[in-house]
Amino acid sequence: MTVATATCIAPFARVSGCDVQVPLVQGGTCSYANFDYAASAPALASVTDRISELLPFYASVHRGAGYASRISTTSYEDSRESVSRFVGADEDQVVVFTRNTTDSINLLAGAVPGDVVVLDIEHHANLLPWKNTRVVEAADSVSETVWRIAVELERAPAALLAVTGASNVTGEVLPIAELADLAHACGARIFVDGAQLVPHRRVDLAELGVDYLAFSGHKLYAPFGAGVLVGRRDWLDEAEPYLAGGGAVREVSLDHTEWACAPAVTRPGPERAGGRGDRCRVRHPRVARRRGRGTSRGTVVRATRRRPA
């Protein structure tokens, strides 16, 4: 007897603009077919609905005690928690909101304390921001490419291996867990450019052993240009602020600055202010030197860390 099984395919999630009509050169209109999702995906209808619900309560995040401000702050911090769960971040990994993947990589690039090993096939966003790069030529096969990376990591100490999760040119997906093991065995950390990977595959940082991940909201069905850097907080805490300014400090006078910890130290604007409970005091170099404990970038005198909110 043959048993027929019906394959049940879930309906695609609705996106904003799915019913848009566009004008034709020869006149008339037709439904718009957008094949450019890898560059920028339309917003999910559920996302635009949620944004519309929240907009009446839009107010300064972390900088106001009014009702709307509290709603905005709570939503903002809750979204950090959601992103953390979405990518399986562990307790030591902080979620920083940025403008996009490029912004996230530039932010991390300013915090890496050493050489960065990259492949020559990377998107420019994962090539240009890094300082002290060592470029490995990709081979015709993935196994040969992995072997070449291993040789380069073993040849000389590197701080970071920066690889794409999925190529924007070929769609090729590298064996991330294997590369993470390789990097760690050589004393390096691993960064994954998830711009094309995160919209298509489940990513679990803890399972893969990935230290840093960047991705873009606009490729992941979110509007308005938000990006994410998730990663271990120590380098971010120790680096110079990415954009020095109001939201990046805890306390400031003419000769004394206490920088905040990540994520606050990474963004100067009010809407980027830091997570609850982040406490990190860095004495201004001049002050620290006067007290005989200075380094060129100041001295971290106290840091208490809680799970990123």
Ligand X SMILES: Cc1ncc(COP(=O)(O)O)c(C=O)c1O
Q: Which residues bind ligand X (CB under 6 A)?
A: 39, 100-102, 123, 125-126, 164, 168, 193, 195-196, 216, 218
Q: How far is the CB of 195 from ligand X (least distance, A)?
A: 4
Backbone angles phi, psi at 241, to 5 degrees: -60, 140
Burial class of residue 276 in the structure, from the number of CB atoms within 10 Å of its CB (0-12 exposed, 13-18 middle, 19+ buried): exposed
Nearer to ligand X, 93 or 167 (CB): 167
Please state the separation of Cα 288 from the chain's center in Å. 32
How far apart CA 110 and CA 234 sit, in angstroms, is 13
Minimum gap (Å) between residue 9 Cβ and ligand X: 27
User: DSSP string spanning 108-169?
Assistant: HHTT--S-EEEETTS-GGGTTT-SSEEEEPP-SSHHHHHHHHHHHHHHS--SEEEEESB-TT
Q: How far is the CB of 167 from ligand X (least distance, A)?
A: 7
**Closest distance of CB 6 from ligand X, Å:** 37
Using the minimum distance from each CB to ligand X, give the nearer residue, 115 or 193: 193
Residue placing its CB nearer to ligand X in the complex, 222 or 288 = 222
| Site of tokens 């990994």 | 93
Measured from the CB of residue 94, what is the shortest distance to ligand X in angstroms? 20
The DSSP result for 84-116, as a single string, is HHHTT--TTEEEEEESSHHHHHHHHHTT--S-E
Measured from the CB atom, the residue of 118 and 280 that comes closer to ligand X is: 118
Report the residue number whose CB is nearest to ligand X: 168
Give the nearer residue to ligand X in terms of CB position, either 63 or 123: 123
CB of 159 to ligand X, least distance (A): 20
Paired residues of 119 in beta bridges: 136
Are residues 281 and 300 in contact, defined by beta-carbon separation less than 8 angstroms? yes
The values of phi and psi at residue 210, to 5°, are -90, 135
Q: Which is nearer to ligand X, 80 or 218 (CB)?
A: 218
Q: How far is the CB of 57 from ligand X (least distance, A)?
A: 27
Q: With contact defined as beta carbons under 8 Å apart, do 150 and 182 qualify? A: yes
Whole-angstrom distance between the N-terminal and C-terminal Cα of the chain? 57
Nearer to ligand X, 122 or 258 (CB): 122
The least CB distance from residue 138 to ligand X, in Å, is 14
DSSP state, residue 166? B
Between 103 and 237, name the residue whose CB sits nearer to ligand X.
103
Task: Say what angle helices 142-155 and 176-185 make with each other, to 10 degrees.
Answer: 20
How far, in Å, CA of 117 to CA of 164, rounded? Answer: 12
